[in-house]
Structure 1
Amino acid sequence: MKTKECYQHLSQLLSSQENAVTATVVGSKGSTPREPGAKMLIRSDGTIEGTIGGGCGEADVIEVAKQMLGRGKDEFELLQVDLTENALESSDRICGGIMEIAVECWTHPVDGLDLLTGEATPNAVRVLPVSSSDPSDLIVFTPEKKTGNRDLDHNCELALQEKMSHSSSIGRTKENHRHFFEYVAGEHTLVICGAGHIAQPLAQLGKLLDYRIVVVDDRPTFASSDRFPDADLLLSHSFQHSLSKINIDRNTAAVMVTRGHRYDEFCLRSLLNSPAGYLGVLGSRRRVRAVFHDLIDEGYTEKQLSRIFAPIGIDIGAQTPAEIAVSIMAELIALKRGQLGGHMKTNIPSPRR
């Protein structure tokens, strides 16, 4: 469950006068099933949305949440979930670390919650004083709205820059001044320029990975709901006109999989000066060179073109449309997570005979 989606659902429940509990991983040691920032929502009827890893540890958190909901008041509790005990009981378990979980009971709408849920704020950071917190006192940082505390603002800016939640100690006494800086990403949009064979599995994978899907093509018969049932928006005018109608921000990834380099250039002219976080062009190195050559002749600089990922994707030897779509989405995941991509395999020595 995405963090922003969790807060949106929480806001809806509170507006309907239904209490709810959020459980957030704010720290971990050793091998744990989820990373800091993972979040779960527990409703008053006991149903849950999202997960912090499953298993006995999650069950313990749910039990605490039910007790809070039974008391019906704003509460905060910091839990230490020791997975090493469960790991010893079952040799099949792969996780044996310790997770720190912030469990919060919410009973009414809170000022500042709209900054975590509204579409007008692409990215935000919630500052959670881990040692002692009150859900009714919500501290939220956005690029337009700072906290006023230099140390807090510095950590918030770091979370926005790295697109990752983290903990940090503020002040002299670590135990009393530890904060969790929760990165709340806005909606991520995948703009697919070109509605051919590769675009179809690309849209399916993008939707599976929680992207808002926008498909652009100047052929209405191609950019159709029959071919793209997962698309949130289909635009079938000229590429330039359609792209001018899209709200593009740093959470936007634009992928050019058009039917020819001339159309790639149409799209790039509209996107190169945009704040899009990712621009990728499909094609051979020869095709990419032709596109870059034409754009440089038009006055675009090498610095402007250097932000383009071309040829697009991670090299997995992809050949079919579906494989190429996997390669493209793998690159987007790697960039989002700050990874280079590559094999996770490690050579394990053979047991001694």
Structure 2
Amino acid sequence: MKDLMKKIQAQALDSQHCYLVALIESEGSTPRTSGAYMLVGEKGLLYGTIGGGGMEYAAQQLAQQRLQNGGGSFVKTFDLSPAAGMACGGSCQVQFCYLPAGEETGDLAEEALSAMKQHAPWWFLLPLGEGNALPQIKKDLQLAGRRGVVDIDGCAYYAEQYDYDGSVYVFGAGHVARELVPLLSHLGFKCIVLDDRAEFADAAAFPQAEHVQQVDFTKLQEACSLTAKDYAVVMTRGHVHDANVERYLLTTPVGYIGIMGSKNKAAMARAALLADGYSEQQLARVITPIGIDIGSETPAEIAVSIAAQLIQTRSERVSERG
């Protein structure tokens, strides 16, 4: 959503009209479920996807045609059955929300970006049907569920709640971190990179990170404060530093702790912590070696295995929230 809003803001400031195309309801077998968005300008797709294939292409073409003819919001149902030449077999309802260039659309995007920075729940309300009403950002709504079509004061909206989903704290800024951070950022994770070496804690090396900082791994309580929604990925240059980071993490409620390294490196860090009096139950919070086992060897492959595990963890959290 952050990248989408930045793109909307850029379009508005560049005097370019566009359509926010949203999949709001689906039946049967469809490539995506409700809550998928794409942004379409006069020259085609600007950002996102609502499932790809023939349906998405048709939606893009329709949005481009309407932009050439003056815009205006509207809704359309797409038949994805074999009779319509589609293989999915279902149908989906798509809202085309017209976003005119100018200050009002830019302010909407800025309001959403501001809400994201506050780490508090907020609602995105997409007006349904025809007309020229813009989406709204609301922070004080009480609605059942986290997404769906709702009626507010006699008007229909597709409502979706957004909340702070946690940040990924990457301890260690070496080769794997340089592969991991851009990948996680592309997947929608917010990354914070920490290293004790000034030459490695370089913001220029991590342009996608939310924050990059040089820290003392023995004094992390002074540098960061992790919550149960956050993720900790430990990939320092040695088991001594790993153990120091683990000591801090085990004092926090952080929801995920993963340690990169060989079994020998992990065993040494574990032995140091057991010698310090940490229990097996406490150490059970730690996943080591980190990542899904896909036979990865190179930094890029290891980054993929870690990212896959974080996607899995995030998906499980979303399922638990309902």
TM-score range, shorter chain: 0.7 to 0.9
Tell me if structure 2 keeps the 8 A contact 1:288–1:311: no
Tell me if 1:114 matches 2:92. Answer: no
Tell me if 1:167 matches 2:148. Answer: yes
Tell me if structure 2 keeps the 8 A contact 1:129–1:180: yes
Matched residue of 2:59: which SS? helix
Q: By how many angstroms is 1:231 displaced?
A: 6.1
Give distance in 1, aligned partners of 2:64 and 2:298: 49
Q: By how many angstroms is 1:313 displaced?
A: 2.1
* Residue of structure 2 equivalent to 1:146: 140
Q: By how many angstroms is 1:23 displaced?
A: 0.2
1:81 to 39, 54, 78: 78
Give distance in 2, aligned partners of 1:204 and 1:256: 17
Tell me if 1:335 matches 2:313. Answer: yes
2:232 to 248, 254, 260: 254
1:293 to 262, 271, 274: 274
Tell me if structure 2 keeps the 8 A contact 1:206–1:329: yes
Tell me if structure 1 keeps the 8 A contact 2:168–2:230: yes
Tell me if 1:25 matches 2:23. Answer: yes
Cα distance, 1:292–1:167 mapped onto 2, change above 3 Å: farther
Q: Deviations over 1:225-280 (max 9, x none)?
A: 89x56664554442256774468667643201223443223324444555755332
Gaps of 5+ in 1: 160-165, 340-353
Cα distance, 1:27–1:272 mapped onto 2, change above 3 Å: farther
Tell me if structure 1 keeps the 8 A contact 2:31–2:51: yes
2:169 to 168, 180, 191: 191
Matched residue of 1:337: which SS? helix
Which TM-score applies when normalising by structure 1? 0.68
Aligned residue identity for 1:105: Y
Matched residue of 2:274: which SS? helix
* Residue of structure 2 equivalent to 1:344: none
Aligned residue identity for 2:98: C
Tell me if 1:34 matches 2:32. Answer: yes
Which TM-score applies when normalising by structure 2? 0.73
Cα distance, 1:196–1:64 mapped onto 2, change above 3 Å: closer
Tell me if structure 2 keeps the 8 A contact 1:188–1:212: yes
Tell me if structure 2 keeps the 8 A contact 1:126–1:181: yes
* Residue of structure 1 equivalent to 2:320: none
Give distance in 2, aligned partners of 1:251 and 1:184: 14
Give distance in 2, aligned partners of 1:13 and 1:200: 30
Cα distance, 1:334–1:85 mapped onto 2, change above 3 Å: same
122-131 or 7-16: bigger deviation:
122-131
Tell me if 1:100 matches 2:93. Answer: yes
Cα distance, 1:205–1:42 mapped onto 2, change above 3 Å: closer
Report the aligned-residue RMSD. 4.1
The 5 Å alignment of 1:141-290 reads 145-147=139-141, 150=142, 152=143, 154-155=144-145, 159=146, 166-167=147-148, 179-184=157-162, 189-203=167-181, 205-220=183-198, 223=201, 228=205, 232=209, 234-240=212-218, 244-245=222-223, 252-272=230-250, 276-283=254-261, 284=263, 286-287=267-268, 289-290=270-271
Cα distance, 1:301–1:135 mapped onto 2, change above 3 Å: farther
Give distance in 2, aligned partners of 1:291 and 1:182: 46
Cα distance, 1:330–1:95 mapped onto 2, change above 3 Å: same
Identity %: 29
How many residues were matched structurally? 308
Give distance in 1, aligned partners of 2:275 and 2:288: 15
Tell me if structure 1 keeps the 8 A contact 2:38–2:45: no
